[in-house]
Amino acid sequence: MYLQIYDNVKLSNGYNSLSNGQKDVHQYILNNIENMKSITVDDIATECFCSTTTVNRYCKKMGANGFSDLKHAILEYGSYSKSKQNNELTNRVITRTEGLNLSDVEVIAKQIIKSKHVYVFGTGSSYVHAQYLQRLLMRCGISCTATNEVHYLRILNEVPLCIIISNSGETFSSVQVANQLENVCDVVSLTRANSRVKKLSKYSLFHNEAVVVDDSINNELNISIYLMIISLVNSVQEQLA
């Protein structure tokens, strides 16, 4: 739970749903996150010219029970982010990021914002990522549905935009969806370079990693797909701001 609270603060999840006073609180916390250990709820209320009730309501919007809960999450995961172990993880993530192609991220974000509804498709471990992207987009105020049913997309009267998440880009169902929607809407994919899904997509974020067959745990925790999702949501948030 604490990791989700920390992510919500750091990624500004649900920012558009905050009141003006809560946005001030959010910005203050982001600007002073390194000093959170010595900051009290009264300090924030004073600096932001708001009540402690506003501060606590903001904390609840971030998934915490109150300020002490949010503070604990920031201290726990903020300090972890400075640890040697996490520095090594950061280096691995940076290396992984350098292997990604995110050139379409801004145009995809624009397509998402102007679309009446976004469908996100994935099967197996990619469905986990599809659900994660759905939650983040809905927090941005985007109407979104995640599905792993090929036939569900086929019977819809209209599919304004479909994002296909496929780590390999070669699974039968993902290729099938890309084929059936190619001339129906703008197909977006988060997938592997030179895959069939990538080639059938109008826009794509992609990686160059080898896919290990039957390694479902590794695929579900795939950092490349996760980074694509975060980059895409960040771009959506920036364009909505």
pLDDT in tens, 20-46: 999 999 999 988 888 888 999 999 999
CB 181 within 8 A of CB 155: no
Give the separation between CA 241 and CA 235, rounded to whole angstroms: 10
Per-residue model confidence (pLDDT) at position 217: 43
Residue 206 C-alpha from the chain's centroid? 16
* Per-residue confidence band for 79, with pLDDT thresholds at 50, 70 and 90: low
CB 135 within 8 A of CB 14: no
More confident residue, 172 or 7: 172
Residue 121: helix, strand or coil by DSSP? strand
Q: What is the DSSP letter of 210?
A: P
Position 216 pLDDT exceeds 80: no
Q: Give me the torsion for CA of 126, 120, 185, 168, rounded to 10°.
A: -10
* Per-residue confidence band for 151, with pLDDT thresholds at 50, 70 and 90: confident
Mean pLDDT of all residues in 81-110: 64
Beta bridge pairs of residue 87: none
Mean pLDDT of all residues in 188-213: 87
* Degrees, nearest 5: CA angle 33-42-54: 85
* Per-residue confidence band for 88, with pLDDT thresholds at 50, 70 and 90: very low
Q: What is the DSSP letter of 209?
A: P
Q: Where are the alpha helices (DSSP H) in 32-140?
A: 41-47, 52-61, 67-80, 84-98, 105-114, 125-139
Give the separation between CA 29 and CA 36, rounded to whole angstroms: 8
Whose CA is closest to 128, among 37, 224, 222, 202?
222
